[in-house]
A and B are shown apart, each in its own frame.
Chain A
Amino acid sequence: MDRLKNLSKASRDTLITYAIVIVAFVIMQALASMHAISSSMIGLLVPITAYICLSISLNLVVGISGELSLGHAGFMSVGAFTGLVAAQVLAPAITSGPVRLLVAMLIAGCFAALAGVLVGIPVMRLQGDYLAIVTLAFGEIIKNLLNNLYVGYDGSLHFSMKDTASLGMNGGKVLINGPQGAVGIEKLSSFIAGFLLVLFTLFVVTNLVNSRSGRAIMAVRDNRIAAESVGIDTTKYRLMAFVVAAALAGMAGALYAMNFSSIVPKKFDFNTSILILVFVVLGGMGNIRGGIISAALLTILPEKLRFIGDFRMLIYAIVLIAVMLFSNNAQVRMAIDGLRGRLSRKDDDEALGDAIEGGDAQ
């Protein structure tokens, strides 16, 4: 217990986050094995883990690096489709499902990272809202290109941007069929795989944040000019956060896609990017634990609201606006800050708090 107390605040925070994820996993796994949760809920388990990974990875860009990215779903879709193709092509070579999923996710991560570099180099020349709109544009471009992509496999891979006929295949199978996307996907994803990916994502992001590079990234976020003047290569560190986030999003995309029997490129559009951004913002920017919790809750909420039918998304919209108005209200802010101040003062530096109060009285 003493050793836990001696840890730095950052690592204690990280440990609590790990604990929450592990406990939540154990509880859900137990409930699922006891058939205590509905089948629709069980169907949500893998998407929830995928969204948690996306939320953590986008938090690295939006919260830690301070760049507004509106195209995160683009990297997810690059990962999803490369992962699907890899899993199909490797099917004869690797018979074990979980191993194949792992390899497919790694390949997906590599391709998404490559996309991240290609997108990131031009994007990092811009700042603020301009950067946001360009990431949006890249997200749309990726979606449009995948909408026109045809991939077939008959022992070797065939690509076309026109139609399935121009793939020039001898038999074989069409893996990606333009706007119809991929069909007949082998369901390789599982809740355990999702859980492990969440742990991996968490591990990568928290370690990056608490490293020298992570501190450099946050320095660039807080004051770019000051960071530059102490010799931090701002472009390098911004790009690093962007590419790592892209790779992690690609892996989550592969996990997500292999949970369904078919998937279309349109699934990964602007609205999905916004959905992930909402997780991050509602969870508190830069707060990874908050992002995890809001990703889980906001994936379950629409499902639980299904009984009210068409009013579902309306309620979602109202909740979104209400939370934003409420959490940014000056009075609410003051109340929260006051509460937090009182708690922390009681917590560790009571004497200092008294001294400050005494100073105020004079």
Chain B
Amino acid sequence: MGFITNMINGISLGSVYAIIALGYTMVYGIAKMLNFAHGDVIMVGGYICFIAMNNLGLPPVVAVLLSIVGCTCLGIVVERLAYKPLREAPSLAVLITAIGVSYFLQNTALLVWGADPKAFRSILDLPSIKLFNGQLTVSPISLVTVAACVAIMVGLTLFTTRTKMGKAMRACSEDKGAAQLMGINVNTTISMVFAIGSGLAAIAGVLLCSTYPTLMPTTGSLPGIKAFTAAVIGGIGSIPGAALGGVLLGIIEIFAKAYIGTQLADAIVFAVLIVVLLIRPAGLLGKEIHEKV
């Protein structure tokens, strides 16, 4: 039964990674930038939800919606102020700016909410589900997390393939210049991607904090890096790849914690990334692009 419990926990954690990774992969696909501030948007989402539930006494559903709206706005504002002026700049300048934004968000959170960890109350107030005479317990939040991940995956796939905006996004990520010539507003499209990515980060933040209920200004950084790793494992720029990479990473992490040791789990997660990239340099589902001379 231990195996099944671990598997469920792994898939649930992996679903959170997958949701974050989706945001990462979409932003990378269109803006070709490593958005290191993405992890901190998760943390902001967690705090908004926490404040809305504990200080304002709002019902969880409203709190989650508020958190999504807040992070979406944050994503758009950050893109406008910090990333848009650097669209033609070398990628390293954009990377450093993203790191600056990440420090900015962390330290603002530190000033506003303090350094002490907050005990996050789960958005679901339901008892655990017991199966097989109590041998197997499943927390309802795990089920919600997995369901949310699947719903987001399906939604995003439909959005990018069926809607005009989604097609515009794919066009922009393929060739910005050509997309512009076809009458696509590239700036609006990029803003839209940041908005979606940040909204997803808010959902991920709420789900992450409901499962692991400590909320600090640095809560988002490590899951952010791991989700990015997941996106790269799956093949960066690919939506199914991000989901696959996320779930895989979550399962590996939980099993490594259970059977090898908590301390070494992160090292194993990163080792998997290296092995995958050595075998498939473009990630599991990524397209390999051959250089032309």
Contacts and interface: CB of A to CB of B under 8 A. Distances in A.
Interface of A: 62, 68, 122, 125-126, 129-130, 132-134, 136-138, 140-141, 144-145, 147-148, 179, 225, 270, 274, 277-278, 281-282, 285, 310-311, 313-314, 316-318, 320-321, 324-325, 327-330
Main secondary structure of the interface of B (DSSP, over half): helix
Nearest to A63: B92
Contact of B82 (A148, A313, A325): A325
A277 B103 CA distance: 14
A112 B228 CA distance: 27
Given A314-B104, A325-B85, A330-B88, 4 more contacts: A133-B229, A137-B273, A320-B96, A321-B82
A271 to B, nearest CB: 9
27 contacts: A122-B278, A126-B277, A126-B281, A129-B28, A130-B232, A130-B277, A130-B281, A137-B229, A137-B270, A137-B274, A138-B274, A140-B225, A141-B270, A144-B263, A147-B263, A277-B96, A310-B111, A311-B111, A316-B103, A320-B97, A321-B100, A324-B86, A324-B96, A324-B100, A327-B93, A328-B89, A330-B88
A126 to B, nearest CB: 6
B41 to A, nearest CB: 15
Interface size grouping (class) on chain B: 35 or more
A268 to B, nearest CB: 14
Given A122-B278, A281-B96, A328-B86, A145 B267 contact: yes
B95 interface: yes
Given A310-B111, A320-B100, A285 B92 contact: yes
Contacts of B86: 324-325, 328
A134 B274 contact: yes
B270 A140 contact: yes
B244 to A, nearest CB: 17
B34 A132 contact: yes
Contacts of A285: 92
Interface string B243-259: 00000000000000000
B9 to A, nearest CB: 21
Interface string B203-226: 000000000000000000100010
B89 A138 contact: no
Nearest to B87: A328
